[in-house]
Homo-oligomer: A and B are copies of this chain.
Amino acid sequence: MSTVYTRPLARLIEQLQRLPGIGPKSAQRLALHLLKRPESEIQALAQALLDAKQQVGVCGVCFHLSAEPVCDICRTPTREDSVICVVADSRDVIAIEKTREYRGKYHVLGGLISPMDGIGPEQLQIHPLIQRASQERVIEVILAINPSIEGETTTLYLGQLLKPFVKVTRIAFGLPVGGDLEYADEMTLAKALEGRRELE
């Protein structure tokens, strides 16, 4: 393809093809679309890419994505300090926030325990979670983790660690087993939060 498309265009197509879910045809369509846009728009996109990469890190408390040392959610004084909702990924925080049903704090693990992929508990933000959960003001930890094999493993592992000193619940199986938390609709997610039960 590079012998037909002029070099800078071929390079852009190559770069776009590295993105998840973008195949050769989509990359070509996107690149040709972008060439037709005004230069200011391309600069805005390029700048947004660089800014996001340079400015966004994780919250020092809950490990949600944040441009500040402590994220907006952790800094909101009206949110309950007594409940921590544990999720695998920042996307799950967004999904739960959209239900508008939850007023506590979060803890983002950064993944799930998956021996097959070489991800053990030490690769996840589990130690900081234990520290947070052992503070006196914390009365409940909600595990909002996908019901996949890795999710079940992680849920069981965290349950064992946390139950000695805090109430541990998990969201109800309102979401379809094998489904992805991120893609559940707001109603289902809200039901799942509401119907949470204590880990036996």
A residues neighboring B (CB under 8 Å): 1, 3-9, 11-12, 14-16, 18-21, 25-26, 28-35, 37, 39, 41-56, 65-68, 71-73, 89-91, 93-94, 97, 182-183
B residues near A66, Cβ cutoff 8 Å: 6
Question: Separation in Å of the A22 CB from the closest CB of chain B?
Answer: 8
B residues near A67, Cβ cutoff 8 Å: 6-9
Determine whether the beta carbon of A65 is less than 8 Å from that of B28: no
Q: Contacts A5-B94, A6-B67, A6-B68: A42 and B35 contacting too (C-beta < 8 A)?
A: no
CA distance A37 to B31 in the complex (A): 20
Determine whether the beta carbon of B46 is less than 8 Å from that of A50: yes
B residues near A4, Cβ cutoff 8 Å: 72-73, 93-94, 97
10 residue pairs, one from A and one from B, having the closest CB atoms: A46-B46, A12-B52, A6-B67, A15-B48, A42-B53, A8-B55, A12-B48, A8-B51, A8-B52, A15-B45
Query: Closest residue to A67 on the B side, CB-wise?
Result: B6
CA distance A32 to B52 in the complex (A): 10
17 contacts between A and B (CB under 8 A): A4-B94, A5-B94, A8-B51, A8-B52, A8-B55, A8-B56, A9-B56, A11-B48, A14-B48, A16-B45, A19-B30, A28-B91, A28-B94, A32-B90, A32-B91, A37-B53, A46-B47
Interface of A is mostly: helix
Across the interface, A49 reaches (CB within 8 A) one of B21, B26, B46, B56, namely: B46
Determine whether the beta carbon of B29 is less than 8 Å from that of A20: yes
Across the interface, A42 reaches (CB within 8 A) one of B11, B49, B73, namely: B49
CA distance A32 to B4 in the complex (A): 32
Determine whether the beta carbon of B52 is less than 8 Å from that of A31: yes
Q: Contacts A3-B72, A90-B32, A94-B1: A52 and B9 contacting too (C-beta < 8 A)?
A: yes
